[in-house]
């Protein structure tokens, strides 16, 4: 049986959500604060989170951040007022997460929950690692040895290509297509400049993988 954690501080709504999901055969725990949610995530294993946004002690997104930092690959269904549909919700990992605007029908809630639970777990995991480099493909952020890597968007895309094919040669043609698309004209200097900046940033944080140049072909991330 799938176990769900619901974070919702409106008592009546929380009870309604719990009853609806229980009728569909799910085990449902309810908490009404972000702190309570953190505690629950530490104490039990959940298959899905249903998160309200506005809570007494902060934004429900805080619990999503907490879950992702703990590398918990839990899909999330957000409950949101249409007006609070901000940029961050738009930028969610579309594979892992979904949202439902209040007010909603019980049947709609059950359908969304079932759809999220059907999605394969491996797709939900958005982080990839190479040595002490950890990249979150959903947020395009990266850490080296636990420290945040501050790089521009293009270098972040470059890093993703290299980390996802760690130990293999990534050709200039692939980088050209991924980093610059069809509209931008990418001179080879532009790729080299990005590689140089990324190399420097990785080196500064003590990365245990380096970008090796494979002359005439491309680049390879390796020890
Ligand atoms: Ca609320």
Helix (H, G, I), strand (E, B) or coil at 61: helix
Is the pLDDT score of 154 beyond 50?
yes
Q: 49-81 in b/e burial notation, b at 16+ Cβ within 10 A?
A: bbbbbebeeebbbbbbeebbeeeeebbbbbbbe
Pair (57, 113) in one structural domain: yes
**What Å distances lie between residue 20 and 43, 60, 105, CA to CA?**
24, 21, 10
Q: Domain end: 63, 87, 118, which one?
A: 118
Q: What is the CATH number of the domain that holds 141?
A: 1.10.10.10
Pair (214, 109) in one structural domain: no
Same domain, 217 and 185: yes
Query: To the nearest whole percent, how much of the chain has pLDDT over 70?
Result: 86
139 in the same domain as 113: no
Distance (angstroms) between ligand 1 centre and the Cα of 53 equals 6
Residues 155 and 204 in one domain: yes
Domain of 46: which CATH number?
A: 3.40.50.2300
- How many angstroms is it from 11 CA to the middle of ligand 1? 9
Angle of helix 188-204 relative to helix 172-180, nearest 10 degrees, comes to: 90
Residues 69 and 137 in one domain: no
For 38, 152, 172, 175, the CA distances from 64, given in Å and listed in that order, are 10, 24, 36, 31
131 and 85 co-located in one domain: no
Residues 112 and 160 in one domain: no
pLDDT, residue 95, reads: 46
Residues within 5 Å of ion ligand 1, judged at the Cβ atom: 9, 52, 54
SS (H, E, C) the chain: CCEEEEECCCHHHHHHHHHHHHHCCCEEEEECCHHHHHHHHHHCCCCEEEEECEECCEECHHHHHHHHHCCCCCCEEEEEEHHHCCHHHHCCCCCCEEEEEECCCHHHHHHHHHHHHHCCHHHHCCEEEECCEEEECCCCEEEECCEEECCCHHHHHHHHHHHHCCCCEEEHHHHHHHHHCCCCCCCHHHHHHHHHHHHHHHHHCCCCCEEEEECCCEEEEEC
Which residue did the predictor score with more confidence, 140 or 13?
13
Both 100 and 49 in one domain: the answer is yes
Residue 6 Cα, ligand 1 centroid: separation in angstroms?
Answer: 12
Residue 184 has pLDDT above 80, yes or no: no
* Domain termination residue (choose one: 118, 145, 176): 118
Number of domains, the chain: 2
pLDDT beyond 60 at 91: no
CA of 10 to the centre of ligand 1 (A): 6
Domain membership of residue 176 as a residue range: 127-222
Predicted local distance difference test score (pLDDT) of residue 138: 74
**Where is mean pLDDT largest: 2-16, 122-136, 138-152?**
2-16
- Classified as helix, coil or strand, 126 is coil
Domain shared by 81 and 173, yes or no: no
In this structure, the answer to whether residues 94 and 175 fall within a common structural domain is no
Give the model confidence (pLDDT) of 187-209 as tens digits: 668 889 999 999 999 999 999 99
Cα(138) to centroid of ligand 1, in Å? 26
Whether residues 71 and 95 share a domain: the answer is yes
- Between the CA of 60 and the centroid of ligand 1 the distance, in Å, is 9
Q: How far is the centre of ligand 1, averaged over its atoms, from the C-alpha of 33 (Å)?
A: 9
Which of 83, 118, 153 terminates a domain? The answer is: 118
């Amino acid at each position: 049986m799938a176990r769900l954690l619901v974070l919702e501080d409106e008592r009546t709504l929380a009870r309604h959500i719990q009853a609806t999901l229980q009728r569909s055969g799910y085990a449902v725990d309810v908490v009404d604060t972000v702190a309570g949610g953190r505690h629950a995530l530490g104490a039990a294993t959940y298959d899905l989170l249903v998160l309200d946004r506005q809570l007494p002690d902060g934004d429900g997104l805080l619990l999503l951040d907490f879950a992702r930092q703990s590398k918990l690959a839990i899909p999330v269904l957000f409950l949101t007022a249409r007006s609070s549909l901000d940029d961050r919700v738009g930028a969610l990992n579309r594979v892992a997460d979904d949202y439902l605007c209040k007010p909603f029908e019980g049947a709609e809630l059950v359908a969304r929950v079932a759809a999220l639970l059907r999605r394969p777990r491996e797709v939900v995991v958005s982080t990839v690692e190479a040595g002490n480099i950890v990249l979150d493909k959903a947020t395009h952020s990266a850490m080296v040895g636990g420290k945040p890597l501050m790089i521009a968007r293009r270098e972040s895309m470059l890093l993703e290509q290299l980390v996802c094919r760690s130990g293999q040669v990534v050709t200039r043609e692939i980088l050209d297509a991924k980093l610059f698309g069809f509209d931008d004209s990418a001179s080879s200097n532009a790729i080299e400049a990005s590689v140089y900046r990324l190399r420097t940033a990785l080196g500064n944080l003590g990365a245990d993988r380096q970008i090796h140049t494979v002359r005439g072909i491309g680049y390879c991330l390796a020890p």
